[in-house]
Amino acid sequence: MHPIIKTILVRLSLGLMTLLAVSIIIFSAVEFLPGDFTEAILGQLATPETIAAFRKELGLDQTALVRYLNWIGGVLQGDFGSSFSGKGSVTGGTGGDRSRDVVDLIAPRLWNTLFLAGMTAIIAVPLSLFLGVTSALYRNSIYDRAVNVTSLTTISFPEFFVAYVLILIFGSLWPVLPTLANVDAATPMLERIQRCALPALTLTLVIIAHMMRMTRAAIINLLASPYIQMAILSGASKREVIIKHALPNAWAPIATVIAFNLAYLVVGVVVVEVVFVYPGIGQLMVDSVTSRNIPVVQACALIFAVTYILLNLIADIIGIVTNPRLLHPK
C-alpha cells in the first residue's frame, strides 16, 4: 500500500475514534445541563405521577448508559430521535403523540447555515488568498501595510459590532441591502442572496484576516528556503518564485487555517444569526438549550463536531498530498 494512502486511512480511523469520544462528551455535557425538561414543560404544580409518566414517555427514566447506546445506535442509522417540544400525549390528553423528528427540524436550519457559510467562503477564500499572495509579493510596501492594518482592524472587533456597523452603513445611511435575513424555503434564490449579503459580508470581514495573514506568513517563511534562493539566482521573477515555487509548498498551513475558518462559518455564526434574525442551526441550538430540548441539542452539537473533524481531515489530507515530506518527519 502506498504510504500516502496508508497515512490517509490512519487519519480517517483517528477521526472516527475522535468522533466517538466527542459523542460521549456531548451526551455527558447535555446530562449536566441544569434543570429538568419535564418540570419545565409541566410546571411546578404537576404531580409526581404526571412527571414520572412524562419522563417515561420521553425515555428519561432509563439509565444514562442505555440512553446513550440508544441515541448513538439511532444516529448510526440516520435517526436522531424526536424533538421533546412536540410531545403531547401526556400533557395534551386526547391530542396523541405530536412528536417531530429531529432530522426534519434541523434539515432546513442546516441548509440555511450551509448556504450562508458557502456564500461567505466563495467570497472570503479567494479574496484572502489573493491578498495574502499579493502582500507577500509586495512585502513592506504601502499596499502590504494597508492590507495588514485593515485586516487587523476588522479582526479586532467582535462579530456583533461589525454587524451593527454594516447595518448602520448599508441599512440606514445608504439603504441598499436588507438588514434582516429572515429567509425560508419559499424564498427565491436571488432574494435569498440579497438578504444574506450583510451576514456574509460580516463573516467575510471577521475571518478573512486569519486566512490572509497565514497565507502571507507561509509564503514569506518559504522565501528564505535554499530552493527559493536557487530559483531567484536562475533568473525567475519574483512573481514566478511565489506562484510557482513558494505557493505549492505553502498549501499545508494554508489549508489548515482555511479549514478552521470554514468550520467557524458553520459552528460559530450564532451571534451573526441572532443579529440578522437568520434561521440557522446555531440559533436553533441556543433555543433548544434554553428549552432543554435534549435530542435537538445533541444532534446540533454532533453536527458541529462532524464539521470540525471532517474539515480538519480534509486539511490534513491536502497537506499530505501536497507535501509528501510530512510522511517522513525527522
pLDDT in tens, the chain (330 residues): 667 777 778 888 888 898 899 999 988 887 777 666 676 666 666 777 787 887 777 777 788 888 888 888 888 888 887 777 655 444 444 334 445 788 888 888 888 988 998 899 899 889 988 888 888 888 888 998 998 888 888 888 888 888 899 999 988 888 888 888 888 888 888 988 989 999 999 988 888 888 888 888 888 887 777 887 787 778 777 777 777 777 777 777 777 788 888 888 877 778 888 888 888 888 888 888 777 778 888 888 888 888 888 888 887 777 777 665 655 555
pLDDT at residue 229 in the model: 79
Burial of 328 (0-12, 13-18, 19+ CB in 10 A): exposed
Which CATH fold would you assign to the domain 103-322?
MetI-like fold (1.10.3720)
Share of the chain above pLDDT 70, in %: 88
pLDDT at residue 37 in the model: 65
Q: Which residue has the cell 403531547?
A: 88
Domain boundaries, given as residue ranges, for the chain: 3-101, 103-322
**Strand, coil or helix: what is 60?**
coil
pLDDT at residue 40 in the model: 65
**Strand, coil or helix: what is 240?**
helix
Cα–Cα distance, 190 to 310 (Å, whole number) = 30
Backbone angles phi, psi at 90, to 5 degrees: -90, -45
pLDDT at residue 29 in the model: 84
**Strand, coil or helix: what is 100?**
strand
Q: What is the largest CA-CA distance in the chain?
A: 86
- What pTM was estimated for this model as a whole? 0.78
The residue type found at 315 is A
Contact call for residues 137 and 238 (beta carbons, < 8 A): yes
Q: Which three cell numbers stand for residue 21?
A: 469520544
Cα–Cα distance, 156 to 154 (Å, whole number) = 5
pLDDT in tens, 20-31: 999 999 888 877
Dihedral sign from CA coordinates of 115, 81, 96, 49: negative
pLDDT at residue 89 in the model: 41
Closest by Cα among 275, 296, 274 to 285: 296
Cα–Cα distance, 37 to 59 (Å, whole number) = 12
pLDDT in tens, 37-64: 676 666 666 777 787 887 777 777 788 8
Q: Which three cell numbers stand for residue 54?
A: 412524562
pLDDT at residue 183 in the model: 84
